Structure 1
Amino acid sequence: MRRLIGWIKPQPHSLSPQTSLWRRVKIGFVSLFAVATASTIGMAMLDRKKLSNDLLTISGNAGLVVTDIQVRGRAHTPQSRLLAALNLQIGAPILGIDLQNLHRNISQIGWVEDAIVERRLPGTIRITLLERVPIALLQNNDKHKLIDRSGAIINGADPSQFTHLTVVAGDSAAPHAAAILSILKTEPELFSEVWAVSYRSKRRWDVHLKNGMEVRLPEIDPVSAWSRLAMIDRKKAITHRDLAVIDMRVPQQLIVEPNIPVRGRGSKT
């Protein structure tokens, strides 16, 4: 039978006195260096603010200061409101500008949908604005507010400057305004006679023309109904007649109500 060979433990080598002394000196030096490094890091962390301020001062003295503020995409955003949100000073160290804070302040302006804030060394801060696009005037009781394509109210906007836009009314009308306006614009000639739209029972729309006539669109397929009305209007100028209502809610039918009630039985045709 083969005998199993056990583990053979190496015997420790004896160290000379010189080698042992050098090792102790080496360990001590490394320990001292580690303590010194840790102390330096600790002091730097405790005085980080002072160190940061010193670095900004050095960068400023080197010419890295705000010399130019560029703004792109501004059409409706008030200049005074934008300057207040930026709160930038010419000559301030550009590396000390908090871009995230600038973006947050700019985004709080009602006209601003989004913004890009850039730092371009040595001294330019560039602001690119994406402004909200007004599409309609939302009627709330006797007041009007400007809304964008998402239905959001544009805070700070003056409705009196946008009286050319279509008036939108009705419960929950704002989020659906862009869709109905897109449909109406498919017939430009007929749309030019529209001044307002009303959302009925959160299901369908009534269109109000400038001459006082009301067009009742169906809940299902209002696109076809509006297109059919435009075709009839081009042939027979029906929207120029003395009518109060054109009802298109019944498929393939057009029901009209005159301004003057019909004598005899009933008042509608």
Structure 2
Amino acid sequence: MRRLISKPGVLPTDKTKRSSLRRETPARKTSLPRLKTLFLGFVGLTLAATATLGYMDRERLIDEMLMATGKAGLNLQFIQVRGRAHTPTDILVAATDLRLGDPILGINIDEVHKRISAIGWVEDVIVERRMPSTVRISIRERLPMGLLQTADGHQLIDAHGVIIKGAKASDFTHLPVVAGDGSAKHAEKILSVLKTEPELFAEVWAISYQSGRRWDVHLRNGIEIRLPEVEPRQAWSRLAVMERRKQIINRDLAVIDLRIPEQLIVEPNIPVRGKGKST
């Protein structure tokens, strides 16, 4: 039986090929990571350059985009204002800093809200962008309550006792004068009591806070009404009933003292001689 044997020179040739294959394989493994690193480095540099260019040209790009939206019809054509009664128009217009024809998407609503909120008459405001061409401004103004007596003269205050900056006190002389330390923040409560008797309240000229506890009411004819610290509403109602029956505030009186429950003490409007004392 014949044996198959390799031809002379075949085996050494195969060994040479296997040896060469083993030498080539490590070379390929070394080159791939190197190419990958170079590629990633190139991509990173490209992205960094693009980001830097975008940052430098950001403002220009935004302006161009806003101009494009304006040309497409998204520009300011109408400004709607609701709730304005006392806020001067010129001050409101200056605060908005809005110009018709500007791209509506370029309006900074938060900045407009901030500037309008700084106006003295404005207690609250809502600024809305209504596409495609309207900005709506809804204002809630402060409600004038009285004229606070200060070292700098009378200052208009709202229901919370806040001074309304920019308001002219001379335009609100029909409101009662509020006097006394700490009177501003407590005035709304006593005024709501006095308004329960409209006819009597119509004669009120001023109110003064006494020792941080109670109020004196000054009528237009010069009479001073001293209210009690406790239950001032009942005392005021009792005076209103007496006024309807006997017309007491039309008499020549200086003081009507209601501080003692169920009693009414009056002082006539006559000169008092000698040294007296305050109560």
TM-score by length of 1: 0.83
Alignment partner for residue 180 of structure 2, among 153, 170, 178? Answer: 170
Corresponding residue number in structure 1 for 2:47: 37
- Pair 1:44–1:142, CA change in 2 (3 A): closer
Cα distance between partner residues in 1 of 2:272 and 2:211: 29
- Pair 1:237–1:65, CA change in 2 (3 A): same
Cα distance between partner residues in 2 of 1:59 and 1:25: 45
Alignment partner for residue 222 of structure 1, among 209, 226, 232? Answer: 232
Cα distance between partner residues in 1 of 2:106 and 2:147: 42
Corresponding residue number in structure 1 for 2:259: 249
Corresponding residue number in structure 2 for 1:147: 157
Cα-to-partner distance string for 1:88-115 (whole Å, 9 max, x where unaligned)? 1111111111111111111121111111
Corresponding residue number in structure 2 for 1:205: 215
Corresponding residue number in structure 1 for 2:124: 114
Corresponding residue number in structure 2 for 1:79: 89
Cα-to-partner distance string for 1:166-206 (whole Å, 9 max, x where unaligned)? 11112221111111100101111211111111111222111
Cα distance between partner residues in 2 of 1:55 and 1:221: 67
Cα drift, residue 232 of structure 1: 2.0
Give identity over the alignment, percent. Answer: 57
Cα drift, residue 257 of structure 1: 0.5
Corresponding residue number in structure 2 for 1:135: 145
Cα drift, residue 40 of structure 1: 2.1
Asked whether the equivalents of residues 139 and 169 of structure 1 are also in contact (C-alpha less than 8 Å), the reply is yes
Corresponding residue number in structure 1 for 2:17: none
Cα distance between partner residues in 2 of 1:254 and 1:235: 14
Cα-to-partner distance string for 1:135-162 (whole Å, 9 max, x where unaligned)? 1111225822211011111111122221
Cα distance between partner residues in 1 of 2:128 and 2:57: 29
Cα drift, residue 32 of structure 1: 4.5
2:39 is the counterpart of 1:51? no
Cα distance between partner residues in 2 of 1:175 and 1:43: 57
Cα distance between partner residues in 1 of 2:277 and 2:131: 76
- Helix, strand or coil for the counterpart of 2:136? strand
Corresponding residue number in structure 1 for 2:78: 68
Bigger shift: residues 210-219 or 136-145: 136-145
Cα distance between partner residues in 1 of 2:242 and 2:217: 16
Cα distance between partner residues in 1 of 2:217 and 2:250: 15
Corresponding residue number in structure 2 for 1:95: 105
- Helix, strand or coil for the counterpart of 1:174? coil
Cα-to-partner distance string for 1:46-103 (whole Å, 9 max, x where unaligned)? 3222221221122122221111111111101111111111121111111111111111
1:98 corresponds to which letter in structure 2?
N
RMSD between aligned residues: 2.7
Unaligned runs of 5+ in 2: 1-24
- Helix, strand or coil for the counterpart of 1:155? coil
2:184 is the counterpart of 1:183? no
Q: Name which one, 1 or 2, has greater alpha-carbon Rg.
A: 2
Cα drift, residue 25 of structure 1: 6.8
Alignment partner for residue 231 of structure 1, among 236, 241, 248? Answer: 241
Residues paired across the two proteins, number:
253
